């Protein structure tokens, strides 16, 4: 991804309503097509994360790029380098669980924010496949969360389906 494209995505984050409409449309297209449309974003694989809104209580679906890592997934709450933390991450963090959607496959996941050496290593690996991440860091002063999504069944949470 070029520096100009990364900057354009960052500018879109300054228009929250536009960004929300674009994310909703992407999520719907992904879901309706069973994951056949928009499966990759500038070479990176895309999943949809379903969360429950902290204030609304409604189901929210947000497309995010990810990196598979064994039986878990790595996602980055970059929000294109915006100074605002993405709502999907705040919802997921507060709820303690969400659903990762890959086409027709759905998997309950539990988030864990990384720190220190683990974060540095996973960031390096993720950025090797999606170089825009390092550009996003230059757009913001906030610490961009790197999140591990682990299968909820292995953690015994949440119970049931």
- Tell me how far apart the alpha carbons of residues 138 and 121 are, in angstroms, rounded to a whole number: 19
- Tell me how far apart the alpha carbons of residues 103 and 39 are, in angstroms, rounded to a whole number: 8
Which is more confident, 161 or 23? 23
Start-to-end Cα distance in the chain: 38
- Tell me how far apart the alpha carbons of residues 116 and 128 are, in angstroms, rounded to a whole number: 18
Cβ 55 vs Cβ 75: under 8 Å:
no
pTM, rounded to two decimals: 0.73
Would the pLDDT of 143 be above 60? yes
pLDDT of residue 110: 96
Would the pLDDT of 29 be above 70? no
pLDDT tens across 103-121, in order?
778 899 999 999 999 999 9
> Percentage of the chain surpassing pLDDT 70?
68
Which is more confident, 10 or 66? 66
């Amino acid at each position: 991804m070029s520096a100009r494209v990364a900057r354009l995505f960052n500018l879109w984050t300054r228009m929250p309503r536009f960004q929300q409409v674009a994310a909703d449309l992407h999520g719907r297209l992904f879901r309706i097509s069973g994951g056949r449309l928009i499966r990759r974003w500038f070479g990176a694989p895309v999943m949809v994360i379903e969360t429950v809104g902290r204030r609304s209580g409604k189901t929210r679906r947000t497309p995010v790029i990810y990196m598979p890592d064994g039986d878990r997934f790595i996602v980055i709450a970059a929000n294109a380098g915006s100074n605002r933390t993405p709502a999907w991450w705040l919802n997921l963090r507060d709820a303690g669980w969400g659903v990762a959607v890959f086409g027709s496959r759905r998997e309950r996941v539990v988030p864990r924010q990384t720190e220190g050496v683990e974060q540095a290593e996973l960031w390096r690996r993720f950025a090797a496949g999606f170089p825009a991440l390092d550009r996003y860091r230059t757009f913001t002063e906030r610490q961009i969360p790197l999140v591990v999504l682990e299968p909820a069944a292995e953690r015994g949470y949440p119970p049931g389906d």
